[in-house]
Amino acid sequence: MLLCLAVLLPPGLTPRRVRYDRRYRTLDKYRFIVGFLALPLAFYVLFVISPFLQAIYYSFTDWSGGPVANFVGFDNYRKMWNDERFWDSLEVSVLLLVVAPLLTLVLGMFFAYMITAGGRHRRGQAIAGVVGSSFYKVVYFFPQVLSVAIIAVVWGRVFNTNSGLINGGLDKAGVDGPAWLGGDQTLGLLSLLIVISWSFIGFYVVLFSAAMGAIPKDIYEAALLDGAGRARTFFSVTLPLIWDTVRTGWIYMGIQALDTFAICLVMVPSHVLKVTPVFLYERFRDGQYGYATSIGVVLLVLSMAFSVIVMRAGNRDRIEY
């Protein structure tokens, strides 16, 4: 074997020299990668990892904003464990964590499928979206360009009990509208859920439309030839092929729902409904910085646990096409 290799190699190039050159090229490649990523990683550690570590440290102190932060161990976490207001806010946040991604992703996939492959057959096109699909993409994505504060203010006026758009329409129909944001926690949670889904659904319509558009048309045409309808095509073809995108969107939407702050703070009165980020903000406002950072650490752990659960539960064999 070595004799054959020696015959094939150029003069002066031995098998040992070949192994050495390959090792050198590999080392040189890794040096280039490390040198290229060193500065971005340094900025990431400085501006992302370092604040997380500082927050974890301050969660074990009685820091109140001054130069002194005394170490108090798990006192903040014990205080949190016995705080009923924290558990009430966490209950609302967990409900949003479960329901908001489900509602938003289901609607986003439905609209994306109709835009991409849910239209009637056209001449020369076996698979096509509904008429005006490009216009619908713009309309659905429009809330993404609006400020969260503007969204909260506008929808707060819409849900206003006396002069809101919804109750105004119900009054004209002879129906007394409910007090959406007047004191009932269930109606307040429903209102918040509607606004969250409305504000994020456009992003997932565009995301899922891009994923569905990457699926070869031949696969859809083969499903049509086999007699599959729209529902069967979606569940048997489209959903398995975009599952990685759905799982990623599920994690992202769950974190967004858990981190609902501005919409709840501006739109929903604090006596009606309070999510954990708003409860955290109030502790900062009261100067309880150590206690507030401990709440932030719990939200961080909850977000990571949610991501791991979704990754594990949604783990499937990757389908290549």
> 61-114, pLDDT tens digit by residue?
988 877 888 899 899 999 999 999 999 999 999 999 999 999 999 999 999 988
Domain boundary among 27, 58, 89: 58
Residue 308 lies in a domain: yes
Q: Does 283 lie in the same domain as 159?
A: yes
123 and 203 both lie in a single domain: yes
Q: What mean pLDDT is predicted for residues 117-126?
A: 61
Say if residue 156 is in the same domain as residue 47. no
* pTM tops 0.95, yes or no: no
* pLDDT the model gives residue 18: 47
Q: Are 268 and 129 part of one and the same domain?
A: yes
User: In this structure, is residue 66 part of a structural domain?
Assistant: no
Asked if residue 261 is part of any domain, the answer here is yes
Q: Does 268 lie in the same domain as 138?
A: yes
Instruction: Assess whether 226 and 176 both reside in one domain.
Output: yes
Q: Is residue 94 part of a domain?
A: yes
pLDDT tier at 167, thresholds 50, 70, 90: confident
Dihedral angle sign, alpha carbons of residues 75, 81, 86, 90: positive
**pLDDT digits 0-9 by tens, 283-316:** 999 889 999 999 999 999 999 999 999 988 877 7
Mean pLDDT over 149-176 rounds to: 86
285 to 66, 85, 88, 281: CA distances (angstroms):
14, 16, 19, 6
What distance, in Å, lies between the first and last C-alpha atoms of the chain?
Answer: 40
| Confidence at residue 114, expressed as pLDDT on a 0 to 100 scale | 85
Mark out the alpha helices in the chain (DSSP H runs).
2-8, 15-44, 50-58, 75-81, 84-117, 133-141, 148-158, 165-172, 185-213, 217-225, 230-233, 239-241, 243-258, 262-267, 276-285, 289-313
Task: Answer yes or no: do 146 and 254 share one domain.
Answer: yes
Same domain, 45 and 162: no
Please tell me the total count of domains within the chain: 2
Asked if residue 20 belongs to a domain, the reply is yes
> Which pLDDT band holds residue 166 (cuts at 50, 70, 90)?
confident
pLDDT of 37 strictly over 80 = yes
Residues 36 and 112 grouped into a single domain: no
Instruction: Report pLDDT digits (tens) over 41-64.
Output: 889 989 989 988 999 999 999 888
Higher-confidence residue of 285 and 136: namely: 285
- 61 pairs with which residues across the strands? 71
With respect to residue 101, please indicate whether it lies within any of the assigned structural domains: yes
- Structural domain harbouring 27: 16-58
Q: Does residue 238 or residue 26 have the better pLDDT?
A: 238
Indicate whether 91 and 40 sit together in one domain: no
Q: Same domain, yes or no, for 39 and 158?
A: no
* 69 inside domain: no
Task: Tell me, yes or no, whether 144 lies in a domain.
Answer: yes
Percent of the residues in the chain that have a pLDDT greater than 90, as a whole number: 37
Q: How far is residue 76's CA from residue 79's CA, in Å, rounded to a whole number?
A: 5
